[in-house]
Amino acid sequence: MSAHAAGEFVRWKKPEISVDESLAEELGRRFEIDLCEGLLRAAPGNLLALMVVGHLYTHCGRHRDALRIDRRLAELRPVDPIVRYNLACSYSHLDRLDDAFAALDTAIELGYRDFDFLEQDPDLENLRRDPRFEPFLDERRERRANDPGEGE
């Protein structure tokens, strides 16, 4: 052990820690999921926690879990077009295309209007591959154009 004179400080150099960014992001998502799941155990109807955890499940590829959450949100917010859009995305991820079309149709009927986004949203990729998608979208756009209450 070495002795130091009074007033002399030993300088400690903080070590540099290398962190894999993708690992850090994954750990952050796991933490957020655990937090939301804990909130939902305490308050099952917490809309914000449901929305956040549904998004996180989708982002992590936990599509069955995301669908469970999106169905719950559709029960709690039956006339919310974004909730129905997200439900369509969950069905699309699971290749439940008939259900995805039905949910997307409901979202549009309830007021969802971002057609440009849905044409490129990766969550709807499976739906866009279906030959029914273009005619479906064309019909909804035409309906919107012919509705005097709608404006672009």
Domains in the chain and their CATH numbers?
21-146 (1.25.40.10)
Structure tokens at 28: 């952050």
pLDDT digits 0-9 by tens, 20-67 = 888 888 889 999 999 999 999 999 999 999 999 999 999 999 999 999
pLDDT digits 0-9 by tens, 88-127 = 999 999 999 999 999 999 999 999 999 999 999 999 999 9
pLDDT digits 0-9 by tens, 120-131 = 999 999 999 999
CB atoms within 10 A of CB 104: 26
Place of tokens 């979208």: 137
Nearest to 70 by CA among 38, 39, 107: 107
